[in-house]
Chains A and B, each alone.
Chain A
């Protein structure tokens, strides 16, 4: 089925470890983004991309890196995980005027 695929769904990291959250979409959407969701905070934008080779920072970019080498993929990298990065992460893509599609989320715990 067409949509946004996020992996993994759950992850536990130790402080200082690195990892990459994967996001792929098969809808040929140019715009992709990463959000984090924390209790009582809603969803906050981390990074976004308007096309292959183009990325920009959102509201809470510190501690995260992104790249966009293809239209389909938009991975989010944590270089040195911190407990403050414990959160639920959502990838989303947009096609058309307001056609956002969200992935199913990744619950990350940093201990």
Chain B
């Protein structure tokens, strides 16, 4: 079974600065998807960014980018120019591409605080 580890339960960043959230995972598969989800106090799960394992290029969505190191099984999220609205729980998630595999495996989350 796959596991996802987020080693930073809490982090903080100054507004306008850059922060990197860490995620590692364990799998024996070669093809899979990785995701970062944001959960603000409203509880809604919001997809931030996704990465297909077969793509070498790191995914980027505006101020959010990832550093995907497949060999190291690492998938960190970088948030540039942090804004107050970025304060939330962030979850890293893995999805297998095996037959019949649709479920997401989540890490335990990182709570990000943004300091004005």
The residues of B that contact A88 with a CB separation of less than 8 Å are 43
- Assess the B91–A43 pair: CB atoms within 8 A: yes
How many A residues face the partner with a CB closer than 8 A? 23
Residues 45-92 of A contacting B (Cβ, < 8 Å): 45, 48, 50, 58, 88, 90, 92
Number of contact residues on B: which range applies? 20 to 34
Proximity string of chain B (70-101) to chain A, C-beta cutoff 8 Å, 1 when within and 0 when not: 00000000000000000000010001000010
Proximity string of chain B (34-75) to chain A, C-beta cutoff 8 Å, 1 when within and 0 when not: 010000001111010010000000000000000000000000
Does any Cβ of B come within 8 Å of A41's Cβ?
Answer: yes
Q: Look across to chain A and name the residue whose beta carbon is closest to the beta carbon of B45.
A: A102
- Assess the B44–A104 pair: CB atoms within 8 A: yes
**A-B pairs under 8 A by CB, number:** 47
- Assess the B106–A44 pair: CB atoms within 8 A: yes
Q: Look across to chain A and name the residue whose beta carbon is closest to the beta carbon of B93.
A: A43
Q: A31-B102, A42-B91, A48-B102 are in contact. Are A90 and B107 (CB under 8 A)?
A: no
Interface of A is mostly: strand
The residues of B that contact A40 with a CB separation of less than 8 Å are 9, 108-109
- Assess the A41–B108 pair: CB atoms within 8 A: yes
Q: Contact partner of A50 among B45, B100, B104, CB < 8 A?
A: B100
For the complex formed, measure the closest distance between the CB of B8 and the CB atoms of chain A, giving whole angstroms: 13
Given A33-B102, A88-B43, A102-B45, 11 more A-B residue pairs with CB atoms under 8 Å apart are A42-B4, A42-B109, A43-B91, A43-B104, A45-B105, A50-B102, A98-B50, A100-B104, A104-B42, A104-B44, A105-B44
B residues near A (Cβ < 8 Å) are 4, 6, 9, 33, 35, 42-45, 47, 50, 91, 95, 100, 102-109
